[in-house]
Structure formats: structure tokens, C-alpha cells
Structure 1
Amino acid sequence: MRATIRTRLTLAFGGLFLVAVTLVLFAANRMVERAFDGSVNVWSEESQDRHAPPGIKVPSEFDTERVVRAVRADVLSSQWQITLVSIAVMGVMAFGLCWWLSGRALRPVHRITGTARRLSLSNLDERINMKGPRDELKELADTFDAMLDRLARSAADQRRFVANASHELRTPLAVQRAAIEIGLADASPERVAAMRAELLRSTERSERLIDGLLALAQGERGPRMRTPVDLAAAVRRAVEQHATPGISIDLDLRPVTIAGDEVLFTRLVDNLVQNAVRHNHPGGRVTVRVAPRAGLVISNTGPLVDPGRVDELFQPFRRLHPDRTGSGEGAGLGLSIVAAIAAAHDAAVTATANPDGGLTVHVSLPGTAAAP
């Protein structure tokens, strides 16, 4: 049978206490024995020079020593008996008190264990909420409660993400189904061509959504290995790829090299530049700045954004403005992928709504200054 930690604590502390008491009592008895031996020798020497008073019979030296040794034997025998009884009584008391104290000390642990047994992914609302002094067990319970808070938020985010992903995937599938059913009802060349174009657009949207989901999962997993990444070069490539007539792009690039996954960080820069260009208006402007202390700062013009809801843009499938849907060109995962990749690289991403419209996104890299 496996001994519980309460039993092991009782045996350990009770045994140590019993051994310590036994050693002390045995040492005290030995000291008493030596004291008696010294007294007997002194008494024997003094008895040789003792003069008897008139009318009193003084026992011989042999009789005196015999009496003293008898008294010594009786006293020591009684003392050893009392010592053994004391050791037995103190042993029982020590193990009993250790059993009781260990039970009280482990009571919070049993409470934590009971709470953990009752929890599941569908029931993460219960907390320990331990009261008492700030000791190790209180810190353990608070850490467990904080872990449950993170798990509850993660489970809620996961359920919301699955629901949103299912909704986003259902839309192109519904379009494809309708195009096939309606298009095949009248199989004229014109209807077939229109159905083909609609199916291609729906398939491309599904591909972008799946690609975004894979990028989000890869960004949350983090870089497998870190290599030097030229941030300014990644920005130039993204600007060349997403340059659009009617949108002016101003660059202020200084040499900045970071350690990270080149593919992931290139995807981060690409998403930010693409969003800045896509969610803009004709004749708008995009400003990109890269500096050693400032990190990466991208600002654009565009529709007005509620400052109180800017943080929602970093959540998957969250769109705050009809113009930010991109007319079906995006999957609503751009900034959530940016946030996941940045977190995997120990960077921080913040966004601020511009007073005249658009956003300013700041990627604060490790070692750079905080967002202004």
C-alpha cells in the first residue's frame, strides 16, 4: 500500500522528535550515573577520616559504601524506568500531534485537489479563493486560480474561434452550392461561365481563409529557429508587392536586424502593409517607419475607427466597420496573425485610431522603445 504524504510527514517528524528526546534523556541519565559514581568515591574517602561523636556507632567503610551503592542502584533503576515510560508517552504524543498538524497543513492541498477533480473544459468557473496568511499554500492556490482564469479565457476564445471559423467557411460553401444548383438549372454557356467565375471567387476566399488559419496556428506555435532578419528589407518587399495606384506610400527605413523566423516575420510585415493599403480610400496615404528604437510603425488614412474598439481588431474574424470587410477580399485574420507572430517573437503590438481616420500600428521589438 502506497503511503500518503501525511503518513510520511508523520513518520519523519515524529521519528526525528522521538530520536532527539531519546538521545537527550539517555545523555541526562549518563550524567546522573557519573555524578553518583563521583559522590560514592568522595563519600568513601571522607568516611576514612570521620571521627565518631561520643555514644554514636559509626558504620564501617564497607557498610557505608554498600549503602551508597544500593541507594545509587535504586535511584538509577527508577530513573531508567521513568525515562523509558516518558519516551513511550512522548512518542505517542509526538506521532499523534504530527498526524494532526500534517492533516491541518495539507487541508488546502486536499481542497485544491478536489477543485481540480471537479473541473472540466465545460466547467471552468469554480475557484479555490483560499483565505488566510500569504504563505506557500496560499500562493499555490492563487496560482491555480490564475491558471484557471487563463484556461477559461483560452477555452472561451477557442469556442468563439471555432464558431467564427465555421461561419466563415460556411459562407463560401453556401455560395458554391447556390452557384452549382442555380447554374446547372440552365446550362447555357453564359450561365456556366458566370457560375465558373463565382466558384473561382468563392474558392479563392476559402483558400485565403484556410491559409490565414494555418498562419495563425503557426504564429501561435512560435519560431522553430531564430535567424537574423532584415526588417527594412522585409518592408521594401511588402511595399513592392502591395503597391496600389492612388495610394501613396512614404518610407522612412533605417537598418534594423532582429532574431526570429524570417518567414513568420515577413508575414507580419506583409499583413500590416496589406491592411494599410486595403483599408484606405482613393488618394490616401501610408507611412512606414523602421528605426532601431521605435521599431516598426505603420500609419494609414482611411475610415474612422472607434478608439474604444481598436483592440478588438486583434481578435480573429473581428471587423469593426463595413469598409474593413474588404468586400470579401480578407478573412478577418490579418491583425490576429500579426499579434500571434509578435507574441511568439517577444514583441508587442499596439494600435491607435487616427483622429482623421485610419490606424497607426506600432510593433515594439525587444530592446526598442514603447509605443508613443
Structure 2
Amino acid sequence: MPGSGRLPGSDDRGGPLAEKNADARRGPLRLSVRTRLTALYGGFFLLAGIVLVVVTYVVVSNELPVPAQYLGDGVSLRLGQVMSAEALPANATFSAVPADAASASVERVATAVLTDYRSSTMSTLVLASAIALVVTAALALLFGWFMAGRALRPLHTITSTARRLEAGKLDQRINLDGPRDELKELADTFDSMLDRLAGSFDSQKRFVANASHELRTPLAVQRTLIEVALENPDAGPELTKLGAHLLQTNERSERLIEGLLVLARSDRGLSARAPVRLDKVVRSVVKLTVAQAKDAGVTVEARLRARTVIGDAVLLERLVLNLVSNAISYNVPDGWVSITIGATPALSVRNSGSIVDEVAVPGLFEPFRRGKPDRTGAADHSGLGLSIVRSVARAHDGEVSARANPNGGLTVDVRLPA
């Protein structure tokens, strides 16, 4: 059923193929900006903490007494005399300990005590500093994580707004509140750009709609003049042949103009919504295409169930008509068309036909693209069929996807919110 389409999940709104393409664009796995900022904050804090610990260690080490410098000969001698005198009992009858021996003994004891005190103090300082550094570094990472998230929150707002935007829906704005900083300036610039884009798209759509509407009148006049000329009994064979050719060309131009009008209308969105029974719309379209299916030798089978959607009945009927008409036209003799209404997707149209290259399927949704290689060979189609289907589906907050069937033909799924 070539006419215009995308693979399942390959449209701009996501799906497996879109995710795969996004992964390919992103390349290898990368850390987020928030993670990098947090690591940067924590790294700088850890470096500053290490420098502070080293400086503190050097200062304290220089201030603590060094036994070799603190214990001089005079200090050792006096300590030895005092300790020797105090160590002797009052009624001692033996001679006092020699001063030199007492001084040497005291110096050894004092040196050992000071060395142990210095070593214990420095060890305690290093251990306490390391614990404090680890704890504060963890707190710094946590604080940096929250601060980075707060600083990057406007960027997430900008990103989410950009993801919701598309050509037919440019009504989203960031409207960032906060101080007049770089992020506020970026958000305001983005909103201004969206205003200009919205104005440009609206102007383009109005031009297409107005031009299409204005062209309908001269085409109708031309068709009337051609039909009147063909009814003239004096018209010769050459004039009749030329008139028939002109009439066929005129009808094709009218279908093209009508398709552009529908496309412009659906691109502008829905001005009003109402409950629509999708199964009744499909049943009506099947009746309208009975003659076309009979002439093409195609069997149409519909498996319908009650399904109500909110939208525009006229546009939904055009969506179904384009799908069914394409499925009948791009088929093979004694072929078939299967129409199914379900929950997800809401509408599925499958048909037999020639083998369709999977690579060519995404381009079928583009305007004036047909399954046949020539652009002008399909006189009964304007090349806007699936373009209108996609536009109408998006106007109803839905999406459409297509895939090639293994044995030929296409399957087109239309997803619509309940």
C-alpha cells in the first residue's frame, strides 16, 4: 500500500528504531553534565582538603618538641639531680647515685616519652584529618550533586520543551523564571525563536490553504468548459480525445488541491473535538470503496469492534479513506485488504501487493512520494495519501507507522488515544 509512511517506531516521537538512531548519534556511553560537575566539585574540594591536611601536619610537626633539641645537657643534668635527690629515701645510708649516670638515665626516659608523645600526636592528627576529609568529601559530593541539579534544572526544562515541539505544535514555551543570568537569557532566546518559527509556519499554512482554495474555482470552471465541449455534437475525434485527456488532468489537479486543503487543515490542528465512533467511520468508508475494490479485483475484509475516539469525524474519515484506497490501488489482481480495529493500534490496514523495500518505507510518508518509481504515473493519486494520514493522526495526538509485509504489501498501524 505504498503512498507515504514510516517504519514502526521510526517516526520522530520515538520507538525502537528512533532509540537506536539516537544511541548512534550519542555514540559511546557518556557521563551526564550533572555527574561531571559533581565529580569536579568533589575533586577540587578533595584537593583543597589534602593541601590543608598537609599544611596542618607540617605546622604541628614543627611546633611539637623534638627530643634531640628539647633535651640539652643542662636540662638533663638538672633533671638527673632532682630525680636522684627525690628518689633517695630520707634515712638512706648509702652514697647517692652519681650525677652523670642519673642524667643519662633521665635523658633516655625523657627522650622515649617525648618520642612516644610526638608519634602519638601526629598519628592521631593524621587519622582524625583523614576521617574528617573523607566525611567532608562525601558531604561535598552530595552537596555538589544537589547544587549541580539545581543549576541544570533550567536546561532540563529547555530540553523537555524542545522534545515536545514539532512542526505542527509550536505552542510550547519555556517561560523560565529566575534571575537575569545566562540560563534565563538562553531560555528567553529560545522562546523568541519559537515565536518566529510559529509565525513562519502559520504563514506558510495559511498560504497553502488560501492558494488551494483560490485554485479550486478556476479548476471547476475549466472542468465545466471541458465537459461542455465534449457534449458538443460537432466535436471531432481529435477534440474529443484532447478533451478527455484535459478532463483527466483537471480531475487530478482537483484531487491534488483537495489533498493540500485537507493537509493544511490537519496541520493547523483541531479547532473542536467530539466523540467519534471509529468503527462506524470504517464501515462507511468500506461501502464507499466497494466499486473501487471490485474494479481492482481486490477482496476487502473488515474486523470491526466498537471503538470511540475524540477528534474530528471528517478528518478521521479522510484518514481511513486514504488508507483503504491506497491499499486497494497498490495491490495485485485477486489480492486482499484487511482492516482491523483494536485497542492498540486503534486501526490497522494490511494489504497484499508487490514486495516493498524496507528501506523505502520511511519515505512513503513524505508528500508526493509514491510506491511506484515514477511521479506522474499514478493518475488516480496525488502522492499526499499517507502524508495526510500522518498529519491527521498527529492532529489527534496519535501516530502512524508502516512496515513491509514479508510476502508483499504493507501494514499501516494508526495509534489514537482512547
TM-score by length of 1: 0.51
Report whether the alignment pairs 1:269 with 2:320.
yes
Report whether the alignment pairs 1:202 with 2:249.
yes
Match of 1:319 in 2: 370
Correspondence for 2:408 among 346, 357, 360: 357
Measure how far apart 1:332 and its partner are. Answer: 0.4
Measure how far apart 1:233 and its partner are. Answer: 0.9
Match of 1:232 in 2: 279
- What one-letter code is carried by the residue in structure 1 that aligns with 2:316? F
- What one-letter code is carried by the residue in structure 2 that aligns with 1:199? L
Distance 1:256 1:326, change over 3 A: farther
- C-alpha offsets along residues 46-84 of structure 1, whole Å, 9 cap, x if unaligned? xxxxxxxxxxxxxxxxxxxxxxxxxxxxxxxxxxxxxxx
Match of 2:184 in 1: 136
> What is the correspondence of 1:280-299 to structure 2 with a 5 Å cutoff?
280-299=331-350
Measure how far apart 1:140 and its partner are. Answer: 4.2
Are the aligned partners of 1:325 and 1:332 in contact in 2 as well (CA < 8 Å)?
no
- What one-letter code is carried by the residue in structure 1 that aligns with 2:185? L
CA distance in 1, matches of 2:238, 2:370: 33
Higher relative contact order (CA 8 A, sep 6+): 2
Correspondence for 1:213 among 260, 263, 268: 260
> What is the correspondence of 1:61-210 to structure 2 with a 5 Å cutoff?
135-141=183-189, 189-210=236-257
- What one-letter code is carried by the residue in structure 2 that aligns with 1:346? D
Measure how far apart 1:211 and its partner are. Answer: 0.9
Are the aligned partners of 1:289 and 1:298 in contact in 2 as well (CA < 8 Å)?
yes
Measure how far apart 1:251 and its partner are. Answer: 1.4
Report whether the alignment pairs 1:223 with 2:270.
yes
CA distance in 1, matches of 2:315, 2:235: 46
Query: SS at 2:361's partner residue?
Result: helix
Measure how far apart 1:252 and its partner are. Answer: 1.3
CA distance in 1, matches of 2:195, 2:358: 30
Query: SS at 1:316's partner residue?
Result: coil
Are the aligned partners of 1:316 and 1:333 in contact in 2 as well (CA < 8 Å)?
yes
Aligned CA RMSD, in angstroms, stands at 3.9
Measure how far apart 1:139 and its partner are. Answer: 4.1
Distance 1:326 1:301, change over 3 A: farther
Distance 1:262 1:307, change over 3 A: same
- What one-letter code is carried by the residue in structure 1 that aligns with 2:239? V
- What one-letter code is carried by the residue in structure 1 that aligns with 2:251? E
- C-alpha offsets along residues 215-269 of structure 1, whole Å, 9 cap, x if unaligned? 1111112222212111011111111111312211221111001111111111111
- C-alpha offsets along residues 102-160 of structure 1, whole Å, 9 cap, x if unaligned? xxxxxxxxxxxxxxxxxxxxxxxxxxxxxxx98333444566678889999x69x98xx
Correspondence for 2:359 among 282, 303, 308: 308
Report whether the alignment pairs 1:278 with 2:329.
yes
Are the aligned partners of 1:278 and 1:326 in contact in 2 as well (CA < 8 Å)?
no
Structure 1, unaligned runs of 5 or more = 1-132, 368-372
- What is the percent sequence identity of the aligned residues? 40
- What one-letter code is carried by the residue in structure 2 that aligns with 1:331? S
Query: SS at 1:322's partner residue?
Result: coil
- C-alpha offsets along residues 324-371 of structure 1, whole Å, 9 cap, x if unaligned? 86631111011111111111111111111112221111110114xxxx
Query: SS at 1:363's partner residue?
Result: strand
CA distance in 2, matches of 1:323, 1:247: 23
CA distance in 1, matches of 2:359, 2:198: 23
CA distance in 2, matches of 1:219, 1:289: 24
